[in-house]
Structure 1
Amino acid sequence: MSQRNEIAAADDAVSAEYETVDRRVLVVGAGAAGARAAIELVEQGVPPEDVLVIGKRGHGDAHTTWARGGINGALGTHDPEDDWTVHAADTLNEGHHINDPDAVEAVTERMPRLLRELDDWGMAYSRTEDGGIDQRYFGAQSFRRTAFAGDHTGESLLRTLVAKAQSLDIPYRENVLVSRLVTDGDGPDGRVLGAAGTDLDTGEFVVFDTDVVVLAAGGYTSLYKRHSSRDDENTGDGPALAYQAGAELMDMEFVQFHPTGMVGDRYGEDWDGRLVTEAVRGEGGRLFNSEGERFMEEYSPDQMELDARDVVARAIASEIEAGRGTENGGVYLDISHRDRSFIEERLPRMYERFDELGVDMAEEPVEVAPTAHYGMGGVAVDDAGETRVSGLYAIGETMAGVHGANRLGGNSLAETIAFGEVAGEAIAERLATAPDGRDSDDLHQHARVHLTDLARLAESDGAHDPVALLDEVRELLWDASGIRREADGIEAGLDRLRQVRERASDLAVGDRTSRSYEFAIDLGFALTVAESVLRGARERTESRGAHYRTDHTERDPEWRRNVRYERDSVGGMHLSTTPVDEPSEAVQAALDAGHELDYHQLE
C-alpha cells in the first residue's frame, strides 16, 4: 500500500511531495543476504505482500555477483573427514579468535544443508564425475570445502535466489537509495519505525512505514583507493545507517586486502583493483616476483599461495616495497602450467576477461596487487541478527561478528545465506506474535525533517564536488589505514578526514536523479565509516589478522577483545571494548586437533 504526502516546510523552495509505502518488513539490499532473508520470511508463513525488498540498483545487479570463487560448507565431497566443527575451527583461526563463536557456529553448522537446498533450487554447481557438488581448496582451509560454479559462483547464487524469490511472488523495488532510518528513541531504547530515501529514477522521496527493517546493504571497502567493488557499492551505507539510528558498530578497523586485484596499464583504469578470484590460486596458480622467484616459498613454505589472505597480501606488499615488483606495482600470478582445457573449464570468467584484455592465461601470467576487498567489521548484532535497536536487523557484510580479524575465503557467501535464514526465522516468529498496526505520526514527523534536508541538498550550489571529496576519503584511508598502519599516519588520516568533513558542508549537487546527488549521500556515509576505521586502527595497539601496525607488530593476548563504536549524547563517536566469548566444546575439540591445509597436496 502506498500514498502521497506533502512536506510541510516553512521554506517553500524545499517543499516536496513524498510517497509512503506500508510494509511489515523492509529489506534494504537485494544481494544474496537480502534475498535469502525475504525467502525465509515467506517460507515461514509471512505473506509476500507484507515484505518488500529494495535495492539501489537494478534487480539482480548486486555485489554478490562479483564473488566468484565459491561458497563454503563441509559437505566432505572429496574429504569426508571434514565437518562443520573443523569449518568453524578454520574460521576462528583465520579470524585470530576475536570472532563471535556463536555466529561462526550458526553459519558453519547450517551450511551443508543450505548448500544442498540451493542445489534443490537449481544452483548451477560444478560437478564431480559422479554428479556430486564439487569442492575446491581455498586459502587457510584444512580441507576442500568450497563449493563452486566455475568462477562465477556469486552470479549463479544470486540468479538462483532471485528465481526462488520470484516464484514466491516477493515484491521488489529497484533504484531506491535509503538515506535515513527513523526510530522513536536513541541507542538501546530505540525502536525502528521505518526508513526514508529517494527513488533515483524519478527523484521522488519515499518513506517506508514498517515494523522491521533488515539491513543487507553490503560493506565499506570501496571507500579505499584500490578496491574490488564498483565505486557506487560497498560505500558503507548499512553500517552508517545503523550507527545513525543508534545501533553499535564493531571491529571496523579490520579490513581485508585481497592479495590478487588486477593492476597494470594494459588492463585500463576501469579494471584497476578488480578481483582475480582466489580460485586461480585454489586451482594451482603461483605467485612470482619480477625476478622470477616464487616468493611464497620464503613467507609460507607449507601453505604457499594458499596461506591466509592477510599473510599473502603482506608478502606481496613486502616484495613490491623491496623493489621486486613489476613496473605497474604488482607481482605475477601464473597458472599457465595447467592445461588450457582445465583453465577454461574451472576458471571460465577469468579466462574470458583476460582474453578480452589481450592476455592468454594459458600462456602467460597476469599482474596482480593487493586490493581492499572486505570489511570484517560492521553492525553489532545478537544471535538472531538484531541490533540493539528493536526491530532493526543487519545481515551479510553489513553485520560484524562472523569473520573476526580476517575472513576465510568462501565464507562471505556462506554468511549471507546462513544469516539470511537466521534473521528470516527470527523475524517471522516476531511478526506472528506482534500486532499488525502502527502509530505512524513519529515516523512522518522525523522523516519530513530529513527529507527537507535532502531537498535543500539537491541542486545546491556549493564549492565542492562530492565525487572529488569521496576520492579524497579513498586516498586518505589507503594511506592511513591500509595494509600497514602506524600511529602518526593514522593521526594524519584523521586530520585529513576532518578537513574533508568541513568541505562536505558546502557541496555542489545536481538534481535528485543525478549521480552527484547519490554520491553526496554516499559521502555522508563515508565520513562516518572512515572515522570508525581510523579510530579503531588507532585504538588497537597490536597486530592481528588484517590489522597490521608497524609500530606494534606482535599480537597482544590482552587485545583479544572487540572494539565497539556508538554515538554519544552529543553526536560524537565513543569507543569501548568487550571480551570475546569461548567456542563450544565440539568446536574447541576441532581447534585442539590442529587440522591444517597442506598446500603440496596440489602438486
Structure 2
Amino acid sequence: MEKIDCDILIVGGGAAGSRAAYEAKKLCPELKVIMAVRGGFGSSGSTNLMASESLGINAPFNFMDDGDNSEVFYKDMMDTGAGLADPNLCRILANESCKRVEELIALGVKFDSRDGKIIQRKLSGCTKARSLTCGGSTGREIVRVLKREIKKLGVEVVEDIRILDLVKGDNGKVCGAVGLIGEKFIYIQAKAVVIATGGAGRIFKYNVNPLSLEGDGWCMAYRAGARLINMEFFQIGPAVFKPNIMFIIHSHMWRLKPRLTNVYGEEFLNKYCPLGIEPSEVMVLKAMSYPFSVRTDAKYLDIAIFKEFTEGRGTDTGGVYFDVTHVSQETLLDKAPITYQILKQAGADLAKERIEIGMVVQNFNGGILIDSNGYTGVEGLFAAGEVTGGVHGADRPGGNNLIDTQVFGYRAGRACAEYASSIERKPQIEDISFNFSTITKEDELIIKKSEEIYYKNLTVIRNRLGLEDVLRFIDSYWGRPNIVVQNRLLLGSLIARAALMREESRGTHYREDFPKTNPLWTKRILILKSEKGYPSLELL
C-alpha cells in the first residue's frame, strides 16, 4: 500500500473542507496540509452544485435595514431548530457569521449587489433578509476563491480519491486514513484529520446530491468511536424530475400558483388540505418554506406530492406534473430567471409546457457531534460542515448550511492545526491492512433496493411499519464484505433507528402514526457504536 505523509489531512473539498485547509495552513504554515477530494477540487461535492434559483449564505449585516442582528439570527436558529439545536453552537454561528463573510469578501467573493450595495434576501425560516448570494452559484464561488488562496499557501490536494476509513494507532488516536484511487490503495498518515465529506443524499433513490455524497464520513467517524446526533432530521423538498436535471423548485415558483396534477390529470392538493386551509394558502407558505417541515402548513403540499407517487398516481419518473403555462415568459424571466433559463437549456419552456417534479433528499441537519471547535471527542479527529450535527436541530433557516461551513470550517481548521502542532511526531504503524472486496452483481442489487426502500420509508412520511421494514431489510444483508454496501446498510440503520425511537413529529421528521409534536420529546438522540458493534441510542 502506498503511503503519503502529512501533518493534517482534510477529507473533503467543499466549502467546509476548503475553509478548514485554508485556516489550518494560514495559522501554522510549517505544517504539511493535504486535502483528499473525491473528484476534482472545485468541481465535485454538493457545494459546487448549482441546483436552485438562489443559494444563500446567512450573516446578519442588516444591509436591507430591516432590523437584523446577531440576537435575531440566534432566535431564528433556535426557533426553527424546535428545541433541538445546540444553543452554544448557534450562538457562535450568530456572533461570528459576519466576520467570516467579511473575510470571504476581502478574499474576492463578489456577492449580488444593487447600485454598489450588497443585497440580502429573506429565505425559509428567517424573519429578516439575511442571505447573501452569488445567484445560484454561491457555494461554487466560495470554493473557487478559497481554492486560489489554498494554492498560494501551499496546501497539497489529492484528487479523485475516495477515503474509506480512518486509521487509529495503538493509543486510540486517529493517525490518518485509507483511501482508494482507481484500484490503488493509499494510506495517508497524519497527526490529525478533519472530516468534511458532506451528507448522504445519494443513498436515496431521488436526491439532488452529487455522486460523492454517500455518507462515508459518518460511517468512518462512527467506526472510530465518534458520536452522531439528530440523524432523523434531514431536508426533503420538491425538485425537477423531467427534464432530467438536478434543480429544486422553490421561492417565486410557488407564488406563481402552479397547477399540480397527477398522471390521471387530476388536481390533488385540495384533498390533502384540512378544512379551513386553502391550496393557494399552502403554495404561498411553500414559497418561504422549501424543505418539508411540520412547522408550517406548507407541509401539506409535500405530503400530497409524495403520496400521489407512493399510492400509484405519479408519473413514470416518480413525480407529478407542474404547470405554469398560464404565466407569461416575461413574468417568468422577471421572477425566476435562473429557473426559467436552466429549464429552457434542458429542453423545457415553462411558458409553453409543463414539467414533472417530485420530492428529493437535499441536505442533512444531523451528523457527527462536535464541540465549539469541531472536535469529535475522538483524539485527533475533527469535523466541519454538513457532516456534523447539533447546530441545526430539527430544522434550520435557509442559508445556514453555507455559513456553518465557514464558521466551523474556520474553527475546526485552526483547532486541528493547534492540536497537530502540539504533537512532536506521528504514531508509527508498521503494517496497514485493509480488506476491500469488489462490488458484486448482488451488491449492486442490494444498493438499488436500499435506495428504493429508504426513499419510500425514511423520507417524507414515516411510520412504525415502514421503519421496521427498513430494519428487516438491513438485517437480511448485514455483514456484506464490501465496505460501500456496509456503509449503505449502516446509514439506513442509524436513520431508521433514530426515526423509530422518536415517537412524535418535529421539524423535518414526520411520523404519520405520531403526527403531533410532543413537548416531552424535546430531547436529542445520540448514537454511538456499542461494544458489540451495533448502534446504541441514548437521549441527551
Same fold flag (TM > 0.5) = yes
Task: Tell whether 2:283 aligns with 1:305.
Answer: no
Q: Deviations over 1:483-529 (max 9, x none)?
A: 11111111111111222335x34xxxxxxxxxxxxxx5432221111
2:150 to 151, 165, 184: 165
Q: Check 1:281–1:335 CA distance in 2 against 1; reply closer, same or farther (3 A cut).
A: farther
* Matched residue, 1:251: 230
Q: Check 1:553–1:121 CA distance in 2 against 1; reply closer, same or farther (3 A cut).
A: same
Give yes or no for contact 1:286–1:305 (8 Å, CA) kept in 2: no
Cα distance, 1:336 vs structure 2: 7.7
SS in 1 for 2:235: strand
Partner Cα separation in structure 2 for residue 88 and residue 427 of structure 1? 26
* Matched residue, 1:239: 218
Q: How does 1:258-277 map to 2 (within 5 A)?
A: 258=237, 260-264=238-242, 267-268=243-244, 271=245, 274-276=246-248
Partner Cα separation in structure 1 for residue 291 and residue 75 of structure 2? 17
Q: Deviations over 1:335-358 (max 9, x none)?
A: 98587488379643x333211222
Q: How does 1:236-385 map to 2 (within 5 A)?
A: 236-258=215-237, 260-264=238-242, 267-268=243-244, 271=245, 274-276=246-248, 278=250, 280-281=252-253, 286-290=257-261, 297-298=278-279, 300=282, 303-307=285-289, 309-311=291-293, 312-318=298-304, 321=307, 327=315, 329-330=319-320, 332=322, 334=324, 337=327, 340=330, 343=333, 347-348=337-338, 350-361=339-350, 366-385=355-374
Task: Tell whether 2:197 aligns with 1:217.
Answer: yes
Q: Deviations over 1:555-584 (max 9, x none)?
A: 111111111111111212111110xxxxxx
Give yes or no for contact 2:251–2:287 (8 Å, CA) kept in 1: no
Partner Cα separation in structure 2 for residue 573 and residue 358 of structure 1? 46
Give yes or no for contact 1:138–1:278 (8 Å, CA) kept in 2: no
1:57 to 39, 43, 61: 39
Cα distance, 1:243 vs structure 2: 0.3
SS in 2 for 1:466: helix
Q: Check 1:354–1:57 CA distance in 2 against 1; reply closer, same or farther (3 A cut).
A: same
Cα distance, 1:280 vs structure 2: 4.6
Task: Tell whether 2:423 aligns with 1:435.
Answer: yes
Partner Cα separation in structure 1 for residue 60 and residue 456 of structure 2? 38
Bigger Cα displacement from structure 2, 63-72 vs 90-99:
63-72
TM-score by length of 2: 0.88
* Runs of at least 5 residues in structure 1 that lack an aligned partner in the other structure: 1-17, 506-519, 579-603
Cα distance, 1:382 vs structure 2: 1.1
Q: Check 1:77–1:330 CA distance in 2 against 1; reply closer, same or farther (3 A cut).
A: farther
Partner Cα separation in structure 2 for residue 366 and residue 105 of structure 1? 42
Cα distance, 1:26 vs structure 2: 0.2
Give yes or no for contact 2:47–2:139 (8 Å, CA) kept in 1: yes
Q: Check 1:26–1:261 CA distance in 2 against 1; reply closer, same or farther (3 A cut).
A: same
Q: Which runs of 4+ in 1 moved over 6 A?
A: 291-296, 322-326
What is the total number of aligned residue pairs between the two structures? 517
SS in 1 for 2:389: coil
Task: Tell whether 2:527 aligns with 1:529.
Answer: no
Q: How does 1:364-443 map to 2 (within 5 A)?
A: 366-432=355-421, 434-441=422-429
Give yes or no for contact 1:253–1:377 (8 Å, CA) kept in 2: yes
TM-score by length of 1: 0.80
* Matched residue, 2:470: 493
Cα distance, 1:313 vs structure 2: 5.0
Give yes or no for contact 2:58–2:399 (8 Å, CA) kept in 1: yes
* Matched residue, 1:106: 92
Give yes or no for contact 2:332–2:351 (8 Å, CA) kept in 1: no
Q: Match of 1:546, as an amino acid?
A: T
Q: Check 1:279–1:108 CA distance in 2 against 1; reply closer, same or farther (3 A cut).
A: farther
Cα distance, 1:155 vs structure 2: 1.8
Cα distance, 1:167 vs structure 2: 2.3
SS in 2 for 1:182: strand
Partner Cα separation in structure 2 for residue 545 and residue 358 of structure 1? 36
Give yes or no for contact 2:125–2:396 (8 Å, CA) kept in 1: no
Give yes or no for contact 2:251–2:290 (8 Å, CA) kept in 1: no
> Quick one: percent identity of the two aligned structures?
25
Q: Check 1:376–1:31 CA distance in 2 against 1; reply closer, same or farther (3 A cut).
A: same
RMSD of aligned C-alpha atoms? 2.7
SS in 1 for 2:126: coil
Give yes or no for contact 1:300–1:307 (8 Å, CA) kept in 2: no
* Runs of at least 5 residues in structure 2 that lack an aligned partner in the other structure: 271-276
